Amino acid sequence: MEPSNLGNFYDAFVVGETIKHSLTKTIFESDNNLFSLLTMNHHPVHLSLEHVKDHQHGKILVVGTLVFSLVVGMTVPDISGKAVANLEYESVNHTGPVFIGDTIRAETEILEKRKTSKGNRGVVYVETRAFNQENLEVLRFRRRVLIPIQ
């Protein structure tokens, strides 16, 4: 049996390529409740059916930072598994609501890459988009990842 290949080295990234990540996640009520508890986000729009019944969506919204964290995690096997560091996150945009029971998938486009002055690593600049089960975009963000050169 071959060991799994967690992440990629710098040279494997091709500018303009879009990677469709194989991991997906259905978000359960317990995921949302635990994340709210761990992060001390007790806003009733994330926890109270009574509160949201007159809200614009009429149902509980999943905490946005949970969605962001899950999507970053989905990209690890392809993007940052071999990373030295995630250097920067930028332009985090919640482009659509996420509800309990939604299934999230993600894809990442390689925007730019450049070698560093150290010569044994490079910075890869990517944009990740997340979609729900109806293929509606719910999240978009960009980041720079420091990746070793093999």
CATH of the domain at 53: 3.10.129.10
On whether residue 66 sits in a domain, the answer given is yes
**Element (H or E) spanning 30, and its range?**
helix 29-39
Residues 86-119: tens digit of each pLDDT: 999 999 999 999 999 999 999 999 999 999 998 8
Q: Are strands 121-131 and 25-26 parallel, antiparallel or unpaired?
A: unpaired
Q: For residue 58, is it within any domain? A: yes
Q: Supply the pTM of this predicted model.
A: 0.93
What's the domain range around 122? 10-148
A 10 A CB-CB count for 61 gives 20
User: Does any domain span residue 1?
Assistant: no
| 8 Å CB contact between 140 and 129 | yes
pLDDT at 144: 98
pLDDT for res 119: 87
User: Tokens 């070793």 identify what position?
Assistant: 148
Q: Does 4 map to a domain?
A: no
β-pairing verdict for 85-93 and 137-148: antiparallel
Q: How confident is the model at residue 1 (pLDDT cuts 50, 70, 90)?
A: low
pLDDT at 9 over 80: yes
Whether residue 2 lies inside any domain: the answer is no
Does residue 5 fall inside a structural domain?
no
Whether residue 56 lies inside any domain: the answer is: yes
pLDDT in tens, 22-48: 999 999 999 999 999 999 999 999 999
Number of domains in the chain: 1
| Residue 97 included in any domain | yes
